[in-house]
Amino acid sequence: MTNSSTTAGVDIGSLTTTALVLRGEDILGSATVLTLADGRSAAKDAFEQALDRAGLSSVQINCVVATGYGRGAIDFADATLTEITCHAVGARKLFPEVRTVIDIGGQDSKVIRLGTDGRVEDFLMNDKCAAGTGRFLEVMAAALDTDVDSLGQLASRSTANIRISSTCTVFAESEVVALVAKGVPKEDIIGGLHSAIAERIYSMVSRLRAKSPFAMSGGVARNSGVAAAIAKRLDAQLLIPPDPQIVGALGAALSAGKEFAKTAFPH
């Protein structure tokens, strides 16, 4: 990558879409919007907001790489890459020592094992259901008559270990409703939900034989309760960036720099 290249990454997720603009390896601007029913429109909106915050126009961008589940629908991208690759690249940039990336997004969760050189060695993905994802937490928050952003704070007040036996959204919701009816405090139920998510991630980490240091990305990493539960179950510190939702877009933008260098300076 050259210091003069200005690139962008766009990560189109099921719930949110993030765009990020780089000059060299310096972040100039980023934006996250709701994906809603139109990933293409969300990508354009996020890209325009990121450009505005960077003080740039689209003609000043040398290369755009799209990632995420909706990457194929982005007509202004020069290239596409999988979210596995982009989260690995982004996490490695933020935390050079990282060996495992735990990414919990809106409707899937991934555990990515990296080699000492930062390359992806192996990964596991749960994308068959919303178990333990952002959507799962949204449904549980609604069942508890609270909002997602309050879950972490409420869980910190938990004083009892409540076991939620299922991370299937439908069954877990039924368990939550039953616990509420029994008068179990809301904060203890939330703590139980977070522990169930942590157990699922621990199982994926074990199957992958993943190693520390661990980094966490994706919107669910903003939930301090989930992060604390995973760290406790893994018996390890979790490296979490200030804005964990930008990791995929950052990896895409860094990869865009390499793509541009290939074209601008062919060997």
What is the pTM assigned to this prediction? 0.90
Tell me, letter by letter, the H, E, C secondary structure of 166-181: CCCHHHHHHHHHHHHH
User: Could you give the CA distance from residue 187 to residue 162 in angstroms, rounded to a whole number?
Assistant: 10
- For the chain, where do the domains classified as CATH 3.30.420.40 start and end? 1-95+245-267, 97-240
pLDDT recorded at residue 2: 43
Helix or strand run (H / E) with residue 30? strand 26-34
CATH architecture observed for domain 1-95+245-267: 2-Layer Sandwich (3.30)
| pLDDT tens digits, one per residue of 2-60 | 457 999 999 999 889 999 999 988 999 999 999 988 999 999 999 999 999 999 999 99
DSSP letter at 211?
-
pLDDT recorded at residue 25: 86
Fold classification of 97-240 (topology level): Nucleotidyltransferase; domain 5 (3.30.420)
C-alpha dihedral, 100 to 67 to 139 to 224, nearest 10°: 40
